[in-house]
């Protein structure tokens, strides 16, 4: 065992036959996503900071004052999940809930100063990590990949 991090996952072992799996686009997406996740953890250092939690911070940073329900909608979370995710950052002094003057039920979510600093850090770390993920592609190829992925993602809901 030489590799402590990332489980040292070998994506395909040439000794075995994977049937039709490698020809399925969805399978490739899943593998790519797993790989992303593994590397993400290494890059960020803190295992508690998952892609989802980072996404939350990013979205709050870009849209200060959103309601929790709105955040849940954007991130595809249930209400309780949103509550927990916000709790996570609030206990770390990165997010604050501020009362909304117009509607005293709802609470606007904002970055604290520490949160802004943390986000600035994370953005850099993660952008760099993301570049490593695709370092084997030329710039043109990467742009192409992204635009193809975009179209697949935005595709019809079926």
Partner DNA sequence: GAAATTTAGTTATCGTCAATAACCATTTAT
Partner DNA sequence: ATAAATGGTTATTGACGATAACTAAATTTC
Concatenated DSSP letters of 13-74:
-TTS--TTGGG-HHHHHHHHHHHHHHHHHHHHS-TT--HHHHHHHHHHHHSTTB-HHHHHHH
Binding residues for a second copy restricted to 39-78, rule: CB under 8 A: 39-40, 42, 51, 55, 58-59, 61-63, 66, 70, 73-74, 76
Q: Is 125 in the site for a second copy (CB under 8 A)?
A: no
Q: Is 79 in the site for a second copy (CB under 8 A)?
A: no
Q: Is 80 in the site for DNA (CB under 7 A)?
A: yes
- Give phi and psi for 120, each to the nearest 5: -55, -45
Q: Is 107 in the site for DNA (CB under 7 A)?
A: yes
Report how far residue 134's alpha carbon sits from residue 145's, in angstroms, rounded to the nearest whole number.
10
Nearest distance in Å: CB 155, a second copy: 5
98's tokens: 């501020």
Which window, 23-31, 35-43, 83-91, 110-118, contacts DNA (CB under 7 A)? 83-91
Chain centroid to CA 50: 7
The single residue among 4, 102, 127, 139 that binds a second copy, judged by CB under 8 A, is 127
Report how far residue 30's alpha carbon sits from residue 21's, in angstroms, rounded to the nearest whole number.
11
Closest to a second copy by CB, 7 or 98: 7
Q: Residue 110: beta bridge partners? A: 96
Binding residues for a second copy restricted to 8-27, rule: CB under 8 A: 8-13, 16-27
Closest to a second copy by CB, 28 or 84: 28
Q: Residue 83 touches which of a second copy, DNA, none (CB < 5 to 8 A by kind)? A: DNA
Closest CA to 136 of 148, 145, 127: 145
Q: Which residues bind DNA (CB under 7 A)?
A: 48, 50, 52, 67-70, 77-84, 86, 97, 103-107
């Amino acid at each position: 065992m030489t590799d402590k991090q990332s489980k040292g996952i070998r994506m395909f072992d040439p000794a075995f036959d994977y049937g039709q799996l490698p020809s399925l686009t969805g399978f490739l997406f899943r593998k790519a996503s797993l790989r992303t996740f593994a590397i993400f953890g290494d890059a960020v250092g803190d295992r508690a900071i998952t892609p989802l939690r980072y996404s939350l911070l990013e979205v709050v940073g870009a849209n200060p004052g959103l309601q929790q329900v709105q955040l849940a909608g954007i991130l595809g979370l249930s209400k309780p999940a949103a509550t927990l995710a916000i709790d996570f950052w609030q206990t770390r002094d990165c997010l604050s809930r501020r009362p909304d003057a117009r509607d005293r039920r709802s609470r606007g979510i904002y970055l604290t100063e520490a949160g802004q600093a943390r986000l600035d850090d994370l953005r850099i770390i993660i952008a760099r990590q993301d570049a490593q993920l695709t370092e084997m592609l030329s710039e043109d190829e990467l742009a192409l990949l992204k635009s193809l992925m975009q179209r697949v993602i935005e595709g019809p809901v079926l």
